[in-house]
Structure 1
Amino acid sequence: MSRADKMARFVAGAGLDPANIRPLAADASFRQYFRVTGQPSHVLMDAPPDKEDIIPFMAIAQHLNNLGLSAPRSIAHNFEDGFLLSEDMGDDTFTRLLDKGAAEADLYSAAIDVLVRLHAEPPPPTITINNGPDFSVPPYDDATLLGEVCLLTEWYLPTCGINISDDRIAEFKAHWLSIFDACRVGPKVLVLRDYHVDNLMMLAGRTGNAQVGLLDFQDALIGPAAYDLVSLLHDCRHHVPPKIEAAMLDRYLAARPELDSTAFQRAYTIMGAQRQTKIIGIFTRLWKRDNKPAYVRMIPYLWDLLDRVLAEPALAGIKTWMDANIPRDMRRKPLPGSDI
């Protein structure tokens, strides 16, 4: 049976008409999304089970909803075939609202308040899905953080024609491992990891934290609180003005007076360097491995963000390594062969 036939069978089994399936979106993974029109409409996730898993999405969504936040509620699922039908949150992503002239401060304040609420709760090491299996939330440990930044050396450098020795790569890893502990300020939290304007929505008819719809959190880990603030405020999709960034950090810290603000600011800066380094590697890989070239046009701005945070004294070793191995004039140029 074809993938399309399996999808139609799943939708029909949920009491909906497969003729109403409409393409909605793809993302940077192997997942695809569809809208099943009707009253009400629903969103269908197609996650091929040999490449994706719907269980993390369902588990994290359930946890978020139990906190009074707004993640898509599951309507029907098929673990074996990798299909999930959930509520449709509409089309009002923060990205679209900002493009229409919505007030940045209002949207970002709402997003910060959601993080404050999320971080007020101890992260769940295990989530039992209603009528489903248990899911253990992985840790955002040193091995994971290091593996992410190494995407720069594995994908970006070879694409740029930069060949470096194993000794230089070992130096790169050692610099990062020496600073990861400084990212861990305050209790560990549930890190959603892709907390940015494309994955946040404003939901009509809901108030408070519930008015912010949350998407794309299936890769959540238990780790540093600063990470999702970086995702939100060091965003290559929407360039956040420095005044807004500073105001949002102040808003978060005011709501969490138990944190050492100086240490948290340092953690935020280090996490910014880690995330931008990782994303440069990921966007290169999306082009070279997955034939998704649209992301590489964001790399020069990612370098702007990265160079800015590398002024942090704690990152001096990383800055020295970058300057010695990646020419500064190369960082703002299109990747060779990318035609952007």
Structure 2
Amino acid sequence: MTGGDASELTGAAAGPDFRLHLQDEAATDRLAEDFAAAARPGDRILLSGDLGSGKTSFARAFIRSLAGDPSFEVPSPTFPLRIDYPFARFPVVHADLYRLGAPDEAEEIGLFDLADDTVLLAEWPELGDLAWPDAATLSFALATEGRDVVIAAGGDWGERLTRSFAIRRFLDRSGRAGATRNPILGDASGRSYERIVNGAEAILMNAPARPEGPAVWQGKSYDAVAHRARDLSAFLKVGSLLAERGVRVPEVLAQDVSDGLLLVEDFGSEAIITAERRPLMERYEASVDLLLRLHLCENSADASPSRSAGAPDLPPYDTDALLIETALFAEHFAGREAGPEMSEAARDEFLALWRTLFESLAGREQVIVLRDYHSPNIIWRKEADGTDRVGVIDFQDALLGDPAYDVASLAQDVRVDIDEAEEELLVARYIRGRRAADPAFDEAPFRDAYAILGAQRATKVLGAFARLAHEGKPAYRSHIPRIRARLRRSLDRPVLSELRRCYDPYL
């Protein structure tokens, strides 16, 4: 790379190596940010080179990118040998082995016994005989102007860095040359996010198109049956539908859908919950009001003159979609997190009872269902008014379905300690709003649908979180007791009485 532009790779070698020229400190910072964006839990990043060649500059920029703070204090670990950083995305150990007396001292300071999710960033690795086949090794050397670096990309680092450098080029094309990249803690999906700082802040969404999965349900893939978006075109389409209906969604600033990249408006990071995972009720109530606005819009031809006529062109949240999600409980929770494995006969009975419940909802009104309308996907915009204070950031999997689903998703937020009284306040607020618009709105069937879909969502999430925990993301297990308690409450509803016995071994 030249001119301090961290995206211009010059003389890239064939195979897993990259050979780069960094013209100035800014270029070194950009490269470190590109690495931080690509890093994953458990990575090993080894920094070699003479004194003053750029190892510590790279390490400081890498750590500051993860901290999201360009002024974050990063002292040298030369004397303590290692400094630990408990970042939310993953822990980082920054080690400097220059003062080691012998290679075996690297073991004494714990560099071979790090937790599985810890990233090791080590200067002078050769002095501690540090070497892993899947590590990224950067060899720095001073040049006449700036410095040169050779990157030996072990494991899948070559693929990850190629993607990260492509993102840098996308930012350059989008008028964000030299922007600072700060990775954001991701969600349960395969997407990743970064806060881009270059004057006004923006959010980078990295979501390459996913290939079609194997056939798992009547000859179809999970994505096909559950109607899950596989590329960013759905985000753009649903975002437009929601904006037309008065929902505040991020403005798209730049896009490369074919490469799975979007740059969107940054709503900030103001949550609708406290640090103790308790609901801020004013914000939840406003979120209920936004659902009312969206649902009433679908039931009023003149509620939003700017939107296209007719029902939204979205797939239905049909029985098969609900069932394949429900089956996650039998596949990943039963027998692995609690109780015995479900036999084939028990699974068939379980899904047959659920099918009957889902079919009982046929004929009810259909609205845009966001599917994951809960605290991680809602940003509080305190400078705005009314329902514009509720910024919705995740909606690409939206379908047409029962209005009770998103009410349950919010009022039974799986990541938040909402007590029974608070849940009822939110549900009652929604019912009052519907009755104010239509005195004929029938509360009883709505509450039955709320119980059914709330239990379905809890069942699905238990299966999904169990799968994620078994795939190396144990933090999801912390939510399971809360969800089980909510599911027990839902199963006490008369409409779910026949289903309760299927859950007795697991709750």
* Aligned match for 2:462, one of 262, 276, 280: 280
Superposition pairs for residues 117-196 of structure 1, below 5 Å? 117-122=293-298, 136-160=313-337, 162-183=340-361, 186-196=364-374
Counterparts of residues 317-332 of structure 1 (less than 5 Å): 317-323=498-504, 326-327=505-506, 331=507
**Paired residues for 1:279-318 under 5 Å:** 279-289=461-471, 291-318=472-499
Q: Which of 231, 248, 260 is the matching residue for 2:442?
A: 260
Aligned AA for 1:30?
G
The structure whose Rg is larger is 2
State the partner residue of 1:217. Answer: 395
**Which residue of structure 2 aligns with residue 29 of structure 1?**
189
Tell whether the 8 Å contact from 1:186 to 1:225 is kept in structure 2 after alignment.
no
Match of 1:91 among 269, 279, 284: 269
Match of 1:245 among 416, 423, 427: 423
Q: TM-score, normalised by structure 1?
A: 0.86
Distance 1:170 1:103, change over 3 A: closer
Root mean square deviation, CA, Å: 2.1
Q: Higher relative CO (CA 8 A, sep ≥ 6), structure 1 or 2?
A: 1
Match of 1:54 in 2: 232
Letter of the structure 1 residue corresponding to residue 320 of structure 2: A
Q: Unmatched 5+ residue regions in structure 1? A: 124-134, 332-340
In structure 2, the partner of 1:16 is 176
Contact 1:183/1:270 (CA < 8 Å) preserved in 2? no
Q: Aligned-pair distance for 1:153? A: 0.6
Is 1:111–2:111 an aligned residue pair? no
SS in 2 for 1:76: strand
Q: Distance in 2 between matches of 1:66 and 1:269?
A: 30
Higher-helix-fraction structure: 1
- Output one character per residue of 1:233-286: Cα deviation in whole Å (capped at 9) or x when no partner: 112211112222222212111111242101111111111111111100000111
Structure whose residues are more often strand by fraction = 2
Which region of structure 1 is more displaced relative to structure 2, 58-67 or 72-81?
A: 58-67
Distance 1:102 1:294, change over 3 A: closer
- 1:64 lines up with 2:224 in the alignment: no
C-alpha separation in 1, matches of 2:363 and 2:314: 20
- Residues 24 and 316 (structure 1), Cα distance of their counterparts in 2 relative to 1, 3 Å cut: same
Letter in 1 for 2:494: P
Q: CA deviation at 1:186?
A: 4.2
1-structure distance, mates of 2:400, 2:265:
26
CA contact (8 A) 1:185 1:224 kept: no
Mapped partners of 1:103, 1:147: distance in 2? 30
> Are the structure 2 counterparts of residues 296 and 312 from structure 1 closer, same or farther at C-alpha, using a change threshold of 3 Å?
same
SS in 1 for 2:391: strand
Q: State how far apart, in whole Å, the 2-side matches of 1:210 and 1:121 are.
A: 15
- Give SS of 2:499's match: helix
Deviations 1:141-169 (A, max 9, x none): 00000111100111112424723322111
Structure 2 letter corresponding to 1:280: L
Q: Percent identity?
A: 35
Deviation at 1:140, TM superposition (A): 0.4
